[in-house]
Structure 1
């Protein structure tokens, strides 16, 4: 990558809003999960890494939703926590009994939340 491209990448990252960063992270996780689903090879390293990235991302969201200093309304925080718990539970189910169709719910959740963060319907 050229120096100009690196500088642009650093600048674009520092000017992104928290909502944009969250949406980008959710879409990255969704892309990883979609790639695993599309190129299903069973429970392999790609599946493990995609699930791990998604689980870590949702663990961050859960931690922030539980934080008393979070500026969002309690109702919003509870909904995020409920979705996060579903994602973590579904991840465990997939790890215990892997199947490509089980990834769809995680992909859909990430894409829908990212669209909401980006202000898209």
Structure 2
């Protein structure tokens, strides 16, 4: 499934306007999947819940690996913040799984949406300054 996520990331990157827009789109897709699971919690199977949570976790794994790599142009404090946020996302995912509480997904949805909005705003600002 990791290979699948990486392939989806690569495929989408070819159609995306910028890497930031790609990341924003993928985060919004993950947020939408999580929202659907939350909204249909009682009707969703464990496999469906797990699929949405695993997709989000794998996306965050790819994002944090990319952002914190030596090749990343991001300042060290931003790298550290992204790493800390990813650790929180991973811990929150475990909390959702272990408590079986759909309200715990709200945090993951909010984080994904907020980061996506920030990435889109930065992409728009970069486009307007070119």
TM-score, reference length from structure 1: 0.84
Q: Which moved more, 1:46-55 or 1:36-45?
A: 36-45
The two structures, once aligned, show a CA RMSD in angstroms of 2.1
Q: Which moved more, 1:87-96 or 1:105-114?
A: 87-96
Alignment-derived partner of residue 18 in structure 1: 19
* Deviation beyond 6 Å, 4+ runs, structure 1: none
- Check whether the contact 1:29–1:110 (CA below 8 A) recurs between aligned residues: yes
Counterpart of 2:121 in 1: which secondary structure? coil
Q: What are the Cα deviations for residues 84-116 of structure 1, in whole angstroms up to 9, with x where unaligned? A: 000001111111121110000000000000000
Q: Which moved more, 1:42-51 or 1:27-36?
A: 42-51
Alignment-derived partner of residue 118 in structure 1: 120
Alignment-derived partner of residue 53 in structure 1: 55
Unpaired runs of at least 5, structure 1: 1-9
Partner Cα separation in structure 2 for residue 38 and residue 117 of structure 1 = 26
Partner Cα separation in structure 2 for residue 102 and residue 65 of structure 1 = 26
- Check whether the contact 2:57–2:90 (CA below 8 A) recurs between aligned residues: yes
Q: What are the Cα deviations for residues 57-92 of structure 1, in whole angstroms up to 9, with x where unaligned? A: 000122123311110000111111111000001111
Alignment-derived partner of residue 103 in structure 2: 101
Unpaired runs of at least 5, structure 2: 1-10, 123-130
Give the CA deviation at 1:15: 4.7
Partner Cα separation in structure 1 for residue 16 and residue 70 of structure 2 = 27
- Aligned pair count reads 111
Partner Cα separation in structure 1 for residue 54 and residue 76 of structure 2 = 28
Alignment-derived partner of residue 93 in structure 2: 91
Partner Cα separation in structure 2 for residue 101 and residue 47 of structure 1 = 13
Rg comparison, structure with higher value? 1
